[in-house]
Amino acid sequence: MASLALSSSSLNLRLRPFSAAQKSRATPTPKSLHLGSRFRSPIKNSISNSHNPLSEDHTQFASQKPAFLLPAPKRVPVTVASASAGASPAVSPAPQPWQGAAIKPLIASIATGVILWFVPAPNGVSRIAWQLLSIFLATIVGIITQPLPLGAVALMGLGACVLTKTLTFAAAFSAFGDPIPWLIALAFFFARGFIKTGLGNRIAYQFVSLFGSSSLGLGYSLVFSEALLAPAIPSVSARAGGIFLPLVKSLCVACGSNAGDGTENKLGSWLMLTCFQTSVISSSMFLTAMAANPLAANLTASTINMPIGWMDWAKAAIVPGLVSLVVVPLLLYIIYPPTVKSSPDAPKLAREKLEKMGPMSKNEIIMAGTLLLTVGLWIFGSALNVDAVTAAILGLSVLLVTGVVTWKECLAESVAWDTLTWFAALIAMAGYLNKYGLISWFSQTVVKFVGGLGLSWQLSFGILVLLYFYSHYFFASGAAHIGAMFTAFLSVASALGTPPYLGAVVLSFLSNLMGGITHYGIGSAPVFYGAGYVPLAKWWGYGFLISIVNLVIWLGVGGVWWKAIGLW
């Protein structure tokens, strides 16, 4: 830089008067970096003022003598070295951290699939079904260990299906046309509008003002509110995602509990897990509380020629259901407690917040009206021939047209798109496991095994119940599980001496309760898990624990109740 500046100034200064140059002859010839100000200044500038060195160098040299009248300075290499030494030593850039997959979990996932792939398929299982099972289990291991985000793991699983010719591209991606994953994604877009407009905060503050003196009271208010809506809204995905997820997220944010910033355990972790686990209970309590419940009733009628009516279902489920709704939130409160348990000032602060918010804004009114429209269509949609996802699309369209939510904001909801991807992938793989005959083979194998044990009907039915319940790890849909295994298990239970109607009712209830063991087993699971408050290992761990509690309540307390009302 210094040499460039010097030659530049030399050319520019050749037109100066000769008399000025005469005086410069007395200037001593520079011999080192302590050359005098005319050499020191540009070097200093080029180091310390590098933001615009050329302009400042030019200023420094503007007052110098004509260079052609000066003796040529000696070119000493040490001079340059000294200049370098005066500057801070060059620091090599820090290596970029690895941003790819976590290697050990990735190896575990791949190893699971490869080992199972080369194990010979059992008799009665086609080779292609066994291959799909190996890819499915490898994907499940990847989803548990998370070498990559869930959507990426699921997409790689679909890619493996297509690459190995186990599924065609159309088959692998067929579930992206299924309404349930889209209903879940639409729920996240509704949540965005809920929070953006402030309507979620307004409702949250109302809840806090009434029940917010304790976290447990707040949780119970949400649990029983959801249970009251359950018989009117037959889609658990719609209830959880369209109504309660936005509300719960708003409550968490209002209480200073946010996903991803270390404050999850203040309130959000316990509240999300509680609302999810109780949503599977409320779905079990009414025939119209879950879309697959009528399928179980229809299969019961066709298998044992005994229908299950709406009142029959509700009467049998009401006592064990209410006990579970009371016990499960309290148990989670003890074993997975929120750090904020009591807040006596919270109701007062919430009322102050409501006063500051003032009357509802235009966007809040639009959001509230859209929500009422959507919920109304969910309740009366069957009479109007409008399904749940169509109602949700209509509601989102209103929000987009009015500008309450923008499409750019929808695209920015990465959790929605990630959930859509992995849930659709699991639905597709689980569906083709059934189509390829693996599930029917499993059912028949279980039936032969249990039937050959020579046990009492109570013990035999208990084994069937456990196998039916925990085989749900292989299903991403309650309807798929019911369609694949309900008839076979009910038939065997009846043949082994189980009262047929009791067997049908128990299997119908369990077809909902089993959805709590994973983050993909029922429509509300991806909704609440996708909020990001509960780690996957804890989600599965507490899910398994709560499943045992529910089985004890429903088979124990429920068994006594069913005996009292004459089911067996």
**Secondary structure of 14-67 in HEC code, one letter for each residue:** CCCCHHHHHHHHHCCCCCCCCCCHHHHHHHHHHHHCCCCHHHHHHHHHCCCCCH
According to the per-residue pLDDT averaged within each range, which of 89-103, 135-149, 327-341 is highest? 327-341
Distance, in Å, from the CA atom of 250 to the CA atom of 531, rounded to the nearest integer, reads 12
pLDDT of 27 above 60: no
Can you read off the two tokens belonging to residue 95? 């290596």
Exposure on the CB side of residue 516, measured as CA atoms within 13 A: 30
pLDDT value of position 89: 59
CB-CB neighbours of 240 under 10 Å: 28
91 — pLDDT class (breaks 50, 70, 90): low
94 — pLDDT class (breaks 50, 70, 90): confident
90 — pLDDT class (breaks 50, 70, 90): low
pLDDT value of position 59: 42
Distance, in Å, from the CA atom of 460 to the CA atom of 121, rounded to the nearest integer, reads 28
Exposure on the CB side of residue 157, measured as CA atoms within 13 A: 36
pLDDT value of position 88: 56
Distance, in Å, from the CA atom of 399 to the CA atom of 405, rounded to the nearest integer, reads 5
87 — pLDDT class (breaks 50, 70, 90): low
| DSSP, residue by residue, 226-255 | HHHHTTT---HHIIIIIIIHHHHHHHHHHT
108 — pLDDT class (breaks 50, 70, 90): very high
pLDDT value of position 155: 94
pLDDT value of position 273: 95
75 — pLDDT class (breaks 50, 70, 90): low
pLDDT of 336 above 90: yes
| Rg for the chain, CA atoms, rounded | 35
pLDDT of 161 above 60: yes
pLDDT of 43 above 50: no
Higher pLDDT, 403 or 226: 403
pLDDT of 539 above 90: yes
Query: In angstroms, what CA-CA distances link 217 with 142, 199, 209, 211?
Result: 37, 22, 11, 6
Quick check: helix, strand or coil at residue 214?
strand
pLDDT digits (tens, 9 = 90+) for 504-532: 999 999 999 999 999 888 878 888 998 89
**Secondary structure of 409-469 in HEC code, one letter for each residue:** HHHCCHHHHHHHHHHHHHHHHHHHHHHCCHHHHHHHHHHHHHHCCCCCHHHHHHHHHHHHH
Q: Among 328, 360, 333, 301, which residue's Cα sits nearest to residue 501?
A: 301
Query: In angstroms, what CA-CA distances link 167 with 150, 420, 428?
Result: 20, 20, 10
- On average, the pLDDT of the chain sits at 81
Exposure on the CB side of residue 540, measured as CA atoms within 13 A: 12
Q: Among 179, 118, 100, which residue's Cα sits nearest to residue 387?
A: 179
pLDDT of 3 above 70: no
CA 177 to chain centre: 20
Report whether 241 contacts 249 (CB < 8 A). Answer: no
pLDDT value of position 411: 94
pLDDT digits (tens, 9 = 90+) for 248-289: 888 888 788 999 899 999 999 999 999 999 999 999 999 878
pLDDT digits (tens, 9 = 90+) for 441-495: 877 887 788 878 888 899 999 999 999 999 998 887 787 788 778 888 888 888 8
Q: Which of 73-77, 501-505, 547-551 has the lowest mean pLDDT?
A: 73-77
| DSSP, residue by residue, 286-349 | -TTSSTTHHHHHHHHHHHHS----HHHHHHHHHHHHHHHHHHHHHHHHHHS--S--B-TTHHHH
pLDDT of 72 above 70: no
Q: What is the mean pLDDT of residues 139-161?
A: 89
